[in-house]
Amino acid sequence: MRPRLLLRTATIAVAGLLVAAGSAFAKDRSECDRIYKPSVGQPGKDVVWVPTPDELVQRMLAMAKVTPKDIVYDLGAGDGKIAIAAGKLGATAVGIEYNPDMVKLAQCYVEAEGVAGKVKIIHGDIFKEDFSRATVVTMYLLPELNLKLRPTILNMRPGTRVTSHQFTMGDWEADETAEIDYRTAYLWIVPAKIEGQWNFRDATGQQFTVALTQKYQKISGDVTVGGRKQPLVGATLRGDEIRFAFNDDKGVTRTLTGTVRGNEINGALRAAGGGDVKVSGTRR
Ligand SMILES: C[S@@+](CC[C@H](N)C(=O)[O-])C[C@H]1O[C@@H](n2cnc3c(N)ncnc32)[C@H](O)[C@@H]1O
């Protein structure tokens, strides 16, 4: 064989080998299905495996307003479908799953769906793994498991969104619910901890004190301004965003909107019919 022909033949052979090797590694879902065949209702450590229907997965992620900036953790990931769907929205996603066979299957689907750069399925116990960096938590567990996770969730960063398929969080009422085909999705937003006595001062030098009480995201309280105490009006808390109104010592209605950061609240105080002045508060 002439050298040039020999070179061309060798090149074609190497290319053929590379294609063959590539296809041996490329995965599609049918290949994953040969790894392990789970059955709906099969036992899991704390709860059986039942997948959330696709439409509800999309609804849960939409309620949580998942964007590429989010880190989504699915607690009890099953075949990884919620984590994969979050990854397809551009989010970083982690699924925690206890059953090692389910983990392998979910990892294979992650590759087959082309989201391996965004999505990880880890083998672990949701009661032992640290998911505190999540900005969104999703779950389809059981009422008692949600309750067991509730203290951990309530200690997460204020504003963290939590969605659950079907099951509630005891007396922590959902911020939003949605229903699809007789199934319910719930959304909670982790509230900042705002209970206590606060001293406020606005940019004009006006001072007032506020006593706040809290049950989850529901807040109430009263304000003392100019030596007169009165209940707050329309007090709301969504994540770390607080809002309430009161009448100042001149009888002008003022609305405070602020952001809670630990023992500080910073924001604006708007007078009815007037502009905003800066206001800040410190917890005593
Ligand atoms: C009802 S399925 C939900 C699967 C998936 N999140 C979905 O909505 O499609 C619950 C999953 O949690 C897993 N699981 C049960 N107890 C667990 C635990 N302690 N830690 C991690 N995973 C667990 C089960 O193996 C099962 O795959």
What per-residue confidence (pLDDT) applies to 62? 98
Residue nearest to atom 6 of ligand 1 (CA): 77
Regarding whether 256 and 124 lie in a shared domain, the answer is: no
What per-residue confidence (pLDDT) applies to 14? 42
* Residue 131 DSSP symbol: -
Range of the domain at 246: 196-283
Q: Give the Cα separation of 146 and 138 in Å (integer).
A: 11
Regarding whether 235 and 153 lie in a shared domain, the answer is: no
What per-residue confidence (pLDDT) applies to 249? 83
Q: Which atom of ligand 1 is nearest to the CA of 126?
A: 20
Regarding whether 220 and 162 lie in a shared domain, the answer is: no
Q: Which atom of ligand 1 is nearest to the CA of 46?
A: 16
pLDDT higher than threshold 70 for residue 128: yes
Regarding whether 171 and 35 lie in a shared domain, the answer is: yes
Question: Which residue is associated with the tokens 């982690």?
Answer: 94
- Distance from residue 156's CA to the centre of ligand 1 (Å): 21
- Distance from residue 146's CA to the centre of ligand 1 (Å): 12
Among the candidates 130, 158, 189, a domain finishes at 189
CATH of the domain at 141: 3.40.50.150
CB atoms within 10 A of CB 270: 17
Ligand 1: residues with CB < 6 A are 44-47, 49-52, 74, 76-78, 81-82, 96-99, 102, 125-127, 140, 165
Contacts of 57 (CB under 8 A, 6+ apart): 81, 82, 85
What is the number of structural domains in the chain? Answer: 2
Q: What is the mean pLDDT of residues 228-234?
A: 96
Q: Give the Cα separation of 147 and 164 in Å (integer).
A: 12
